[in-house]
Amino acid sequence: MADYKAVDFFCSGGGMSYGMLQAGINVIAGIDFDKNCEETYKANIKGAEFIHADVFELKESELEERLSLKKNDDNLVLIGCSPCQFWSIIYTKDKGERARRSKNLLAEFRRFVEYFMPGYVVVENVPGVLRRKDESGLEDFITWLQENDNGYKVHFKVHEVSEYGVPQHRKRFTLIANRVTKKELEPVKVHGDKITVRDVLGEKNGFPKIEAGHKDNTPFMHTVAGLKEINLKRLALTEKDGGTRLSYVNSELAPQCHRNKKDGFKDTYGRMYWNKPAPTITTKFFSISNGRFAHPEENRAISLREGAVLQSFPKDYIFKTTSIANTARMIGNAVPPKYAEAIGKAIIKSGKNE
């Protein structure tokens, strides 16, 4: 079997890298501008080098020398999962430097692809990057991949990650390009029923009952944000297993903007369903006011570890962070490892000619 090696640009806490490792691809390095994710990445992605660098300043030749990379290597995988806030439908419009950088990250990643001409290229992002593919530079990138002398075969599509072993509904744009075969490679689906909240959370899965505000100082991080008295009262009235704000919509407990209103967005302050995949785990999953993030039956939001497991991180994944908000941001922004593994398996299968 081919000895695949990957370099993970914009690696953050390692969700993509971990999934690739599980698929059987050797991740040799992760690159990120955020120094705060270094400890988490190094704690979990064993054997990989963490490169703290701004991709706008990093030179192709520097990376080539540092990692002993070769050009035109059929077994090299370059991965570019750039921060996605600019293209997200829930992103508040920012006209400043962050927005400009987000838009140009794909162009910077393309520099390295053009220089190394790897056997495989992976790009993962929010669906918005496809809806605005001309503005994002994605359209030009896809055209170049298809029409350069190497003629990459390119798969690009929005996938639902719950079909790939992730216990969560989440749509993600995914591009897998390869110049090694003439096949279009797609993430490898998991057959059978989708994994639900009940399959991974609850006492039988190692999550003891806790109350709002519980602090877990062990690496398990079964830590949950505190709640104001009014929110505890709201949850006490919210029906178990999928209940919503409609349980108290006509009472003084309802926020003014929701009072007596039964239409519109109902997920805010809602509970997860036991027998369904979770809703999309965002960077604010620790707060019940930001979505359907209340536990199916306990009167609290889901914990940090519960959010990580719903993102398909293993229960022993180590998060080296300094606050609930920072941990949740790293978890919510991550590529779900099980989905990354499905992408990696597609690459592995191509080498076996399956």
Phi, psi of 171 (to 5 degrees): -95, 130
* CA dist., res. 299 & res. 279, Å (int): 18
Contact 321, 151 (CB under 8 A): no
Classify 271 as helix, strand or coil: strand
* CA dist., res. 123 & res. 219, Å (int): 31
Helix residue spans in 45-151 (DSSP H)? 60-67, 97-116, 128-131, 133-136, 138-147
Q: Are strands 153-160 and 120-125 parallel, antiparallel or unpaired?
A: unpaired
11: annotated active-site residue: no
Vertex 194 angle, CA 191 and 196, to 5°: 150
Classify 279 as helix, strand or coil: coil
Contact 243, 271 (CB under 8 A): yes
Catalytic residue among 37, 81, 84, 257: 84
Residues 6+ apart with CB under 8 A from 353: 181
Burial 108-133 (b: 16+ CB within 10 A, else e): bbbebbebbbbbbbbbbbbbbbbeeb
Q: Are strands 76-80 and 5-9 parallel, antiparallel or unpaired?
A: parallel
> DSSP class of residue 278?
B
Q: Can you give the length of the chain in residues?
A: 354
* CA dist., res. 145 & res. 348, Å (int): 21
State the catalytic residues: 84
